[in-house]
Amino acid sequence: MRSKFGFKAVSVGLVLMMGAAAQAAGEPNSVGEIFKFNKMEWLIGEWEATTDANETPDKNIRGQAAEAKFEWTLDGYALSIRARVGRYEYEGMAYYVASKNTIVNTGVDNRGRSFGGSWLIDGDKLLLKIEQTGRDGSINNFERSLSKVDANTMKSVTYSVSDGKRSDEPIGILEFKRKKEVNPKL
């Protein structure tokens, strides 16, 4: 029997039952669940650092204050990401694509560049594989690891990637401190 939408009612029921069975079996269905399972929730919050002259190849942001904010949105199905260094700004989102079993990242900056990539959890580190596309179509690839040093400290290490090979030396290292909450939650 077909419904008015052209699907067999049995097929829709089977798909719904399979989805419920996968969820009952413990399969993650959101980036929030993946972070919780892997104890990566420490990343959520606001962070700040200062760039030093030798920590970044970008002369425009050397010696500037750096800020990053990671915030749950859409009931944990997405992670909102905002970053700022001086006048440079980035906004992005990470979310889980179950069909690919991958956390996907996408974003844009105020220089007109777009970013895409994936996130992997490797032990206590979050590994970001980033493809940056410039306004002219040029593509640069990077790898960034975010790791918890302690409850209030996060280390970010960035490498360039060329021909699929990560550079031996990092092109940027930042140690972020968690911002203190102005109005702590009660």
Give the E-state strand segments of 6-152 in sequence order. Answer: 45-50, 65-73, 78-85, 88-97, 102-109, 114-122, 125-133, 139-150
CA–chain centroid gap for 166, Å, is 19
What's the CA gap between 110 and 86, in Å, rounded? Answer: 12
C-alpha distance from residue 107 to each of 113, 132, 138, 166 (Å): 9, 9, 16, 22
Tokens 């399972």 correspond to what residue?
A: 37
* Predicted local distance difference test score (pLDDT) of residue 26: 66
HEC profile for 134-182? CCCCCEEEEEEEEEEEECCEEEEEEEEEECCEECCCCCEEEEEEECCCC
Which domains are assigned to the chain? Answer: 28-178 (2.40.128.20)
Which of left, alpha, beta for 53 (phi over 0: left; psi -120 to 50: alpha)?
alpha
Q: What is the pLDDT of residue 128?
A: 93
pLDDT in tens, the chain (186 residues): 433 333 333 333 333 333 433 444 567 789 999 999 899 998 999 999 887 644 555 555 566 788 999 999 999 999 999 999 888 899 999 999 988 899 999 999 999 999 999 999 888 899 999 999 999 999 999 999 999 999 899 999 999 999 989 999 888 888 999 987 654 443
Pairing of strands 125-133, 65-73: unpaired
Q: Whole-model pTM?
A: 0.76
The residue assigned the tokens 């200062």 is 50
